[in-house]
Chains A and B, each alone.
Chain A
Amino acid sequence: MNSFFINTLGPLGWTLLALVPPAIIALYFLKLRRQPLEVPSTFLWSRTIEDLHVNSLWQKMRQSLLLFLQLLFVLLLILAVLRPGMEGEQQLVGDRFVFLIDNSASMGTKDEQADRTRLEEAKRRVLEMIDQMDSGDVGMVVTFSDRASVVQQFTDNQRVLASKVKAIQPTERTTDIMEALRVASGLANPGQASFEKGDVQVAEAKPATAYILSDGRFQTITDFSFGNLQPIYVPLGNIESGNVGILAFSTQRNAEKEEELQVFARIARFGPEPSEVTANLYFNNELLDVARIKLDNEDGTGGVQFDLGNLDIGKLRLEIEHDDVFPADNIAYAAINPPERAKVLVVSAGNDYLKFALGTDQIRRIADVTLVDPDFLTGEDYPKEAASGLYDVIIYDDCAPEVMPESNTVFFGQKPPVDGWKFTEEKVLPQIIDIAQSHPVMAFVNLGNVSIYKSSSLETPPGGTTLIESDQGALMSIAPRKSFEDAVLGFPFLTSEEDKTFYNTEWTKRLSFPVFIKNLVEYLGNVKQGQAETSIRPGENFTFRSNGFAKEVRITPPQGRQRVVAPTADNLFSFGETDQLGTYEVREGDAKNVSRYFSVNIFDVQESHIEPKEKIETQWETIEGQSAWLPMRREFWKWLVVLALLVLLVEWYIYNRRVYV
């Protein structure tokens, strides 16, 4: 079939269709049986209908407008079935297609001089491509944002494909194409089990073409081989579109005046304009403050700080006044949550410096500390309290429980009873060579003037992080356990030799020790004092523990109905329906008051930087975008059907009005 027509019918279909015109002509002749009527003369009638004398088949046909219209109708239908169209240079490549449609936040951009969003444009183009599929071609539709979703598995049913594409909804999520590529690659590159000579391939590779419809705002593709998957990148969006977006919005206590709250925001401009924006800060939907923010000429960023004084629990919203094509990042949300005090259990035989460090004002402000002897571990109350997760953090000073509690833990000089932790043989005078100061536990902790007499180096379970590194190995590490974290120090503070007890290190005498203890309590006790809950991105899971022991919490999204969430066994709540931007309210049990807020914001440079990428970078190659995307095959069959219907309408009109002879 040449490029102007595409055959869509089989031999049987064509045979049946070919029978229609003769059938119409036959019916026409049957219809010609007119009632004879004798008249004085046909003289005047003949003059009236000049050439009505039906003497030949041709004359009969020539005069029957209705017959012509009917035949024209069938002809138009036949032409429509042949799907005539003008071929663009762009054609579908191959016979198996994976349509990867980006539905991340930036695809909601409605580019200038466009009446549709990038996602709508992507859907339109995919629908065009589906229309262009030949019979026997199969297609698959995958959407991707921060996760991939198979909208439709491989099928040759174009109608199903089209309906699934039409149903794709935009999201506010960030972009990660890797999962989508792995899904697309699934059939094209089946299990690579046959590396050795003689191995049998488990499945036959089926080459496919992956059409990636996106603005290209995702990370460089690494550790992925396209193999039999032929990628075709279709960039969407106007390269000249500009945007201004909020990239960060957070609150914290003023370090100097604890009762005062400060709000910080960072705004970035992508594009030449504007040089200044106005930011409005709302507290519980009431305008609280306004600021003009200058955006740097070079990198286009600007920041703002609001000093709010002492504010109670409530919702904050920052809006920048700027009309741009991507409005989703022009609003940021945050919330002020009530201060949470950590419940801390300290099990220690007697360590004055530790007691001192736990008795500072700062610790008392943020935590309720219970000090017990190691004998408490063998008592009746401890197993219940440990199993119920009553304490946020338990500090074991040179002692260890038999069973790990449902809490975060700190072990000084003892190995936790958890697989994976190993203490090597004690060595004398390890030299500290590195501290993970980026970790909250070690923030502002200076160990340069600290010496240690004896210490074991540590081996951590998988996922562990070394906090203090010595020349003999890790002296302190932190590692995850279920939803908890365990911090382990490889040496005790007190040591005994020849029945004499003395201090193993002078760290306890240094200023860094109470700082270290405060960090431990603050970090592992999950203390947040009037700060905004860490903002999460759309679609991310929000996990938290309730203040009490609520059997369920009710979470109200910015829009939509309330959801009820039950805790897991360790009193942990997890909520994943965070697709909407905004501030979510959490109420515990039947409480009417909000116990906490959490916010969902985009805060992603990749999403806010809406300028479409002209090419996709991968580890191995560069995929050039079809920047000059030529028009797809323009098909006329719909117009032909409309024309056929019009002809049918005219025929019906003529038949009823009989305006012809």
Chain B
Amino acid sequence: MAKTNIVSDLLSPELLAQLERMELVSRKVFRGRMKGERRSKRKGTSVEFADFRPYVAGDDLRFIDWNMYARLDRLFLKMFLEEEDLHFYTLIDASTSMDFGAPSKLTYAKQMAAALGFVGLCRTDRVRIETLGTSTRKPGPVLRGRQSVWRMLDYLDGIESGENVPLLEGAKNFCLRNSGKGILVLITDLMDKEGFEPALRFLSTQQMDVYVIQTLAPVELNPAEQIKGDLKLVDCEDGDIAEITVSRPLLDKYKRTLDAFVDGARTFCAKRGMVYMLANTEVPVGSLVSNYLRQRGLLR
């Protein structure tokens, strides 16, 4: 019963139906550890013909093309493209700041991770979900196959906000644990007072196909409706205080600052081969996944 709830909370049946027809796409072709469903650069055993090569002693006799031998009287080995699995990582920012909005940014991140993970599991990719604060908690399990959906959802359900880890530290720890190549989807609000740049720069060096999804709540994107009057703004993570008197010029200035911040992140990512996407928690996860992520090439 609980599992059903999780499914309905994180993934609606309609969304699941959409996701089943999708697959994760990497702009790079990676070498997986196990046989998967996607074409590898490595020649291996699959149904997809790649090339012929002369037989040498020791080759597996099962791949000798006997028809060729009949025609040319020479032994050729028939080579097929190896079909490999894809390493798909989702790294969720579970800091306190993600606990804002309706739904909260964290819930939204979980929904997105669940959706993407489901796509991966359906395609027998190697799926792993972690949080930035995983160094202090048990890392998420490596999942594969549709039957692992429940475990994935279980893990996601267990993620709670409060892991106030600097973005750079979280990224470092992730890379230390996961040295392999693959697709990394980082879901965060990027609100790190030390700056997001060092963390993203670090990730960009890992030869991963990195997608950065910046999740922002309406209160951050359009504060005019909720923030009014003479206020003492308290930062939920470090208790920092900003005193403001809300005015139209101030709101305009905030908007310009936000735009500059988003543009900065987008430019930064673009320069380093990463894909950036801004997600408003008001936009349903289904439309985000089916529209925006498809447009950006993560899914097809």
Contacts and interface: CB of A to CB of B under 8 A. Distances in A.
* Residue among A38, A39, A54, A658 facing the most chain B CB atoms (10 A cut-off): A39
B58 interface: no
A75 B41 CA distance: 81
Contact of B243 (A34, A40, A658, A659): A34
A418 interface: no
Contacts of B285: none
Main secondary structure of the interface of B (DSSP, over half): mixed
Interface string A29-54: 00010111111111111111100111
Contacts of B250: 48-49, 658, 661
Given A48-B253, A53-B242, A659-B247, A41 B231 contact: no
Contact of B236 (A35, A40, A659): A40
B29 to A, nearest CB: 38
A352 B262 CA distance: 137
A614 B130 CA distance: 104
A34 B257 CA distance: 23
B105 to A, nearest CB: 8
A36 B229 CA distance: 11
Interface in B194-243: 217, 219-220, 227, 229-237, 240-243
B187 to A, nearest CB: 15
A659 B245 CA distance: 9
A541 to B, nearest CB: 76
B233 A43 contact: no
B232 A44 contact: no
A382 to B, nearest CB: 106
A40 B247 contact: no
Interface in A427-456: none
Contact of A42 (B100, B233, B248, B258): B233
A44 B254 contact: yes
Interface string B237-273: 1001111111111100110011001000000000000
Contacts of B249: 659
B97 interface: yes
B77 to A, nearest CB: 60
A384 interface: no
A660 B247 CA distance: 8
A471 B230 CA distance: 113
B247 A661 contact: yes
A42 B247 contact: no
B243 A41 contact: no
Interface string A118-152: 00000000000000000000000000000000000
A657 interface: yes
Interface residues of A, number: 25
B83 interface: no
B125 interface: no
B247 A658 contact: yes
Interface in A139-179: none
A52 B191 contact: no
Nearest to B230: A34
A105 B232 CA distance: 74
A181 to B, nearest CB: 68
B235 A41 contact: yes
Nearest to B189: A40
A62 to B, nearest CB: 13
Given A45-B244, A48-B250, A40 B97 contact: yes
B193 interface: yes
B231 A35 contact: yes
Interface in A15-70: 32, 34-49, 52-54
Contacts of A34: 230-232, 243
A163 to B, nearest CB: 47
B63 to A, nearest CB: 58
Given A40-B97, A659-B249, A52 B234 contact: no
Nearest to B226: A37
Contacts of B217: 40
A39 B97 CA distance: 8
Chain B interface size, under 10 / 10 to 19 / 20 to 34 / 35 or more: 35 or more
Nearest to A658: B247
B189 A41 contact: yes
Contacts of A40: 97-98, 100, 105, 189, 191, 217, 219-220, 236
Contacts of A45: 233, 242, 244, 254
Nearest to B250: A661
Contacts of A658: 245-248, 250
A597 B156 CA distance: 119
Interface string A624-636: 0000000000000
A497 B231 CA distance: 131
B230 A53 contact: no
A42 to B, nearest CB: 4
B195 to A, nearest CB: 10
A34 B192 CA distance: 26
B234 A36 contact: yes
A85 to B, nearest CB: 40
Nearest to A41: B191
A54 B245 CA distance: 13
B257 A48 contact: yes
Nearest to B260: A47
Nearest to A657: B247
Interface string B120-136: 00000000000000000
B254 A41 contact: no
A284 B246 CA distance: 80
B290 to A, nearest CB: 27
B257 A44 contact: yes
Nearest to A54: B243
Contacts of B232: 34-37
A338 to B, nearest CB: 88
Contact of B242 (A32, A46, A657, A659): A46
B151 to A, nearest CB: 30
Nearest to B247: A658
Given A44-B261, A47-B261, A661-B247, A39 B233 contact: yes
The 4 closest A-B pairs by CB, nearest first: A658-B247, A41-B191, A40-B97, A34-B232
Given A41-B193, A46-B242, A48-B257, 5 more contacts: A37-B234, A40-B191, A40-B219, A40-B220, A661-B247
22 contacts: A34-B231, A34-B232, A35-B231, A37-B227, A38-B236, A39-B100, A39-B227, A39-B233, A39-B236, A40-B219, A40-B236, A41-B235, A44-B220, A44-B258, A45-B233, A45-B242, A46-B240, A48-B254, A49-B242, A49-B244, A657-B247, A661-B250
